[in-house]
């Protein structure tokens, strides 16, 4: 994740991670059910539904792994805590 160089009085955008929460479970159910209905005429609802669950979970694990590598901050304060240190090493000091 690119770290924006801060300057005085300018907005700085930072990223941080948070828990997936209940929205992920809702998305899992909706996506797999929709895909099951789409593939119902080819392989049957349950086959496509179950394989869609596998694909969704694996894709989620890959996304979580990438987020853990690219976004080290786990909270908003932690994301801005390193802002001044990076800036101080660059030229503020």
**Contacts to another protein by CB under 8 A:** 6-21, 23-24, 27-28, 31-32, 35, 38-39, 42-43, 47-48, 51-60, 62-64, 66-67, 71, 76, 79-81, 83-85, 87-88, 92-93
The size of the chain, in residues, is 93
CB of 79 to another protein, least distance (A): 7
A 10 A CB-CB count for 27 gives: 13
CB of 2 to another protein, least distance (A): 11
CB of 84 to another protein, least distance (A): 4
A 10 A CB-CB count for 48 gives: 20
CA nearest neighbour of 85 among 69, 73, 67: 73
Q: How far is the C-alpha of 77 from the C-alpha of 42, rounded, in Å?
A: 50
């Amino acid at each position: 994740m690119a770290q924006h160089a801060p300057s005085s009085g300018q907005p700085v955008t930072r990223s941080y991670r948070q828990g997936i929460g209940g929205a992920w479970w809702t998305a899992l159910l909706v996506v797999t059910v929709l895909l099951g209905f789409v593939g119902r005429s080819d392989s049957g609802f349950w086959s496509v539904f179950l394989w869609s669950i596998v694909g969704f979970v694996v894709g989620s694990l890959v996304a979580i792994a990438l987020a853990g590598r690219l976004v080290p901050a786990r909270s908003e304060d932690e994301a801005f805590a390193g802002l001044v240190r990076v800036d101080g090493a660059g030229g503020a000091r």
